[in-house]
Amino acid sequence: MTIRLYDLVAANGRSLSPFVWRIKYALAHKGLSFEAAPVGFTDIPKLCGGKYKTVPIIEDGATTVCDSWAIADYLDKTYRDAPTLFTSPQERAMAHFFDGWFGLEIMNRIFQINVADIHNHARPEDQPYFRQSREARLGGKTLEQFAEGRDARLDELRYALRPMRAALLSAPFLGGDTANYADYIALGGFLWAGAVCTIPLLKADDKLNDWLKRGFDLYDGIGNVERYPLTA
Ligand SMILES: N[C@@H](CCC(=O)N[C@@H](CS)C(=O)NCC(=O)O)C(=O)O
């Protein structure tokens, strides 16, 4: 049976969620086929009887699971014969640590750079909700006011990425010789940016570009989707 994955999409059909992206990689890692069901921000509360507020959500037969970590654990527990996402509790713990770091230091910065872009690319019927909910988090500034200083934030973002550059000096992936869930988390962040971000995040000589290419090429080019340039 094919798993259904609810995917948050922009008006142009591109995926607007870094968390959905990591689950697309996780499903591909496990060799599980899935159908993506595109939804907008304001559709999410109507899914699965109104049980959930965020995507990713999967439906696997009669089972529904929301939250990327819950889904990753469900996939490993349910599909034991398929390649595991976490080969040990220790690997899972390290991926969890990486997720915390990447969320705080990188995704937050990307959000601060592309928040107005996300709004402008959202489906028209989702834009008022997105503006209202995000402006409530931005300390009284409009999305446009918030986006004003974003060029200066690029340098901070590039600087904050140096632990990833350091790790990738000695291995092709954050997971070592092969990609693991930490790579999927980070690739998802960049794919989210590529969907909407109208300024390139990385410099042309950034070594992360090689890793991005390797990561986008995984699983028959899962990440080679239409996007804005990530590199200046
Ligand atoms: N902790 C959740 C976070 C998921 C999340 O924040 N999803 C966002 C999209 S990237 C969402 O569904 N937002 C709905 C909204 O803002 O109303 C996970 O890992 O799945």
Atom 17 of ligand 1, residue of closest alpha carbon: 41
For the cut 90, the answer to whether the pLDDT of residue 149 exceeds it is: no
* CA 169–ligand 1 middle distance (angstroms): 32
Q: Please report, rounded to a whole number, the percentage of residues in the chain having pLDDT higher than 90.
A: 95
- Per-residue pLDDT reduced to its tens digit, 84-116: 999 999 999 999 999 999 999 999 999 999 999
| Domain positions in the chain | 3-78, 89-221
For the cut 90, the answer to whether the pLDDT of residue 70 exceeds it is: yes
Instruction: Place 125 in a pLDDT band, splitting at 50, 70 and 90.
Output: very high
98 contacts: CB under 8 Å, gap ≥ 6: 174, 182, 185, 186
For the cut 90, the answer to whether the pLDDT of residue 122 exceeds it is: yes
pTM for the full model? 0.98
CATH code reported for the domain at 89-221: 1.20.1050.10
Atom 19 of ligand 1, residue of closest alpha carbon: 68
CATH architecture, range 3-78: 3-Layer(aba) Sandwich (3.40)
Atom 14 of ligand 1, residue of closest alpha carbon: 54
Query: Across the chain, what does the average pLDDT equal?
Result: 97
Which helix (H) or strand (E) segment is 72 a member of? helix 68-78
29 contacts: CB under 8 Å, gap ≥ 6: 83, 85, 179, 184, 219
State the number of CA atoms in the 13 A half-sphere of 148 facing the CB.
6
Which helix (H) or strand (E) segment is 4 a member of? strand 3-8
Alpha-carbon distance of 83 to 145, in angstroms, equals 46
Which helix (H) or strand (E) segment is 5 a member of? strand 3-8
Ligand 1-lining residues (CB < 6 angstroms): 8, 17-19, 41, 44, 54-56, 67-69, 133
For the cut 90, the answer to whether the pLDDT of residue 1 exceeds it is: no
- Which of 46-55, 146-155, 170-179, 192-201 bottoms out in mean pLDDT, i.e. has the lowest? 146-155
